[in-house]
Amino acid sequence: MTDQPMKLLAVRLPEAERRRIKSLAASQGLTLQEAVHQAIEAWASKLQAEGALMLEPWPAPPAGELPKPKRTGRTSKRT
Q: Over the stretch 5-44, which tens digit does the pLDDT of each residue have?
A: 888 989 999 999 999 999 999 999 999 999 999 999 998 8
Amino acid 59: pLDDT = 61
| Model confidence pLDDT, tens digit, residues 41-64 | 998 888 888 776 555 665 665 655
Q: Amino acid identity of 46? A: K
**pTM as predicted:** 0.56
Amino acid 18: pLDDT = 93
Contact 34, 27 (CB under 8 A): no
Residue 59: strand, helix, or coil: coil
